[in-house]
Chains A and B, each alone.
Chain A
Amino acid sequence: MANQILVHAMTSGDTTTVEALVKHPMDSGFVKDAAGKIIPAHYIEVIEFTHMGKIVLTGYWGPAVSKNPFIKFSFQGGKSGDPIGVSWVDNKGETATTSANIM
C-alpha cells in the first residue's frame, strides 16, 4: 500500500486525458516534527507516463509539489483499452510503477 498510484485515463475523440494521484509524503526538508527535528526531504524526482510503451509525459518534481501529488494532462491519440503506464523514482531511490487501461 505504501507506494500507491491511482491512474485514470479516458479518451474522447482524438484526445486522451490522464489523471493520476500518487501517494507520497513529498516532504520538503523544511518542516519540523513534533519533537522539533527536521523531517528529511523525501520527494518524487522523476515521474513518467507512457502510452503503449511510448513516453507521453516526463515530470520533474521538486519538494514544492504538494503531498500526494495530483496531475492531469492529455495527449493526442490513444484508444479505449490501451495501457497507460506510470512510474516514478524519488530522491531516496524508491520507485513505484502501475498501469491502467484507457476507458
Chain B
Amino acid sequence: MEQINGLTRGSPKRRDFLVAAAAGTAAALVLPRFASAAAAAPNASTYPAKAFIQKTEAATLQAMFGTSTVTASPDVKMDAPDIAENGAVVPISFDANAKNVTGAAILAIDNPFVMACAYKIPAGTNPAISSRVKLAKTTQVISVVEVGGKLMSTSKQVKVTLGGCG
C-alpha cells in the first residue's frame, strides 16, 4: 500500500505535498474541498452489471451495447504490450479515428469474465483512453468503440508471463 503504481512514489505525506504543489496556487488548496462537497457520487444503478459477468465476446457486447455485430477496423488503434511480464498491471490504450463515438470497451477474451472496462463517451471527449487492466493469462485483447450504434474493434494478442488474475 505504500506505493501507488506510477505517478509518484514515496510516503503519503510526500505525495500529498507533490499533488498540492502541482495544483499550483493556494486557492487550489481550498477550492477542492468546496467543489467536492458539491459533487455527487455516481449512480451505482447505471452500472451495466450484466455485461461484466459474461464469458464470451458476443454475450458481453450484447449486454453492453445491445448488439454483438462488430467489425474489425483500422480506425481503432490500440496500444498494448506484446508481452506483459506482470498480468496484474497491463497498460492498454485505444484511440479511435472516428467522429461521434459514444461508447467504448476493453475485452480480454481469456479472462474469467471477458469485460475489463467500458466507457460512456459524451460529445467533446476524445475517444482515446489509457488505463491498466489485469490479464489472467495470454489472451486476445479487444478494443471496441461504438459509433452510431455500430461497433468497431481492433484486437491484439498479449502474452502474459505471470498471470494477474488478482
Chain A positions within 8 Å of B, measured between CB atoms, are: 1, 6, 8, 15, 19, 21, 23, 28, 30-31, 45-48, 50, 53, 55-77, 83, 85, 87-89, 93, 95, 97-101, 103
A28 in complex: contacting residue of B35, B42, B131, B165, CB < 8 Å: B165
Docked complex Cα distance between A69 and B92 (Å): 12
Complex interface: chain A residues within 8 A of B43 (CB): 46, 89
A6–B15 Cα distance when bound, in Å, is 9
The answer to whether A73 touches B5 (Cβ under 8 A) is: no
Q: Which of A46, A75, A77, A99 contacts B36 (CB 8 A)?
A: A99
Closest to A25 in B: B1
Interface assignment of B59: CB less than 8 Å from any CB of chain A: no
Given A73-B125, A101-B24, 8 other A-B residues pairs in contact with their CB atoms under 8 A: A8-B22, A48-B42, A55-B122, A60-B52, A60-B118, A64-B108, A85-B36, A95-B42
Sort chain B's interface into a size bin.
35 or more
Least CB distance from B91 to A in Å reads 8
Count, A-B residue pairs, CB within 8 A: 176
Residues of A within 8 A of B41 (CB): 87-89, 95, 97
B70 interfacial contact with A, CB 8 Å: no
- B-chain residues with CB within 8 Å of residue A31 when the two chains form the complex: 165-166
Interface of chain A: mostly helix, strand, loop or mixed: strand
Interface string of B116-140 (1 = CB under 8 A from A): 1111111011101111111100000
Shortest C-beta distance, A27 to chain B (Å), equals 8
CA distance A90 to B130 in the complex (A): 20
> Please, which residues of chain B bring their CB within 8 A of the CB of A87?
39-42
Q: Which of A47, A59, A64 is packed against the most chain B CB atoms within 10 Å?
A: A64
B131 lies within 8 A of A71 (CB): yes
A75:B44 contact, CB within 8 angstroms: no
